[in-house]
Amino acid sequence: MLILKLGGSVVTHKDKYMSAHTGNIQRLAMEIAEADTYPIVIVHGGGSFGHPVAKKHGIADGLVDKSQFFGFSETHQAMVKLNQVIVDLLLKAGVPAFAISPSSMIRTDSKRLNELDIGLIKGFIELGLVPVLYGDAVLDSQQTFAILSGDQLIAKLSNNLGADRVIFGSDVDGIFTDNPKLSPDAMLIETVSISSHEANVGATTHTDVTGGMLGKLSEATEAVRGGADVLMVNAFVPGRVRSALRGEKVIGTVLTL
Ligand code: ADP
């Protein structure tokens, strides 16, 4: 059982509002088809689709004013649009993808995902289909609504499906000693050992991990604890995701217990 995350940085032009990176998506769809590694579940991020809309309407921190209902729905719509582009291109490449909307089956509790209808997802997998989920605007039992990140979803799916391998595809080679986009001297860390005690992730890895990578690392830690091998790779480099799916050795960061 494989789980592949396609980061928002990979499937969208992050600095261009609601712009799908169709070139990357097409190439990655081909790589997934060529790898021919099933069963697999795909989760993608929001990039320039979900994030700016959710931010504009303050969706992540829940209900303050009923006028947010429009923004709540628009955030979901933005993700549906991106998901549609991705699933269409996967189908075209020969991957039997099936779109599953997280907000239709998931409710968070104070931003955390507790319950998940895993039987439903297993049903699609057993048919030989490839479920494609995404970070979404969801109902929350404490704050009315919230944003469920693709990375949080990955950890939960991994643990509930008993994934063997989880691959995070992003726009950097893996986890560095510092943000590689800001520090040219940052060095790639090939193996990150997760302490068995819940500790500060940054301290555990002796790195300065910030922003999206910090959340990703903390969710990935959950998947490692659940028994999956977790690998972070650069999905912009042609062939890297395909090799990673096949279990070949690639440049990246491996997370271990
Ligand atoms: P995605 O959209 O692909 O899920 P994010 O943009 O949320 O990914 O997070 C990846 C980004 O995290 C990288 O582009 C990088 O700028 C940033 N980052 C911060 N600290 C680190 C670090 N120590 N190592 C790698 N990336 C880091």
Query: Which atom of ligand 1 sits closest to the CA of residue 8?
Result: 2
Protein residue closest via CA to atom 6 of ligand 1: 212
Q: Domain count of the chain?
A: 1
35 Cα: distance to centroid of ligand 1 (angstroms): 25
pLDDT level of residue 207 (50, 70, 90 thresholds) = low
Q: What is the mean pLDDT of residues 229-246?
A: 98
Residue 143 in 3-state DSSP? coil
> What residues are in contact with ligand 1 under a 6 Å CB criterion?
7-10, 45, 47, 170-172, 175-176, 178-181, 207-213
205 pLDDT above the threshold of 60 = no
For ligand 1, atom 1: residue with the closest CA: 7
Retrieve residue 57's tokens: 């309407």
113: domain CATH number? 3.40.1160.10
Model-level pTM?
A: 0.95
Pick the atom of ligand 1 nearest to 150's CA.
4
CB atoms within 10 A of CB 126: 9
pLDDT tens per residue across span 36-76: 999 999 999 999 999 999 999 999 999 999 999 999 999 99
- Does 204 score more than 50 pLDDT? no
- Domain residue limits at 155: 2-256
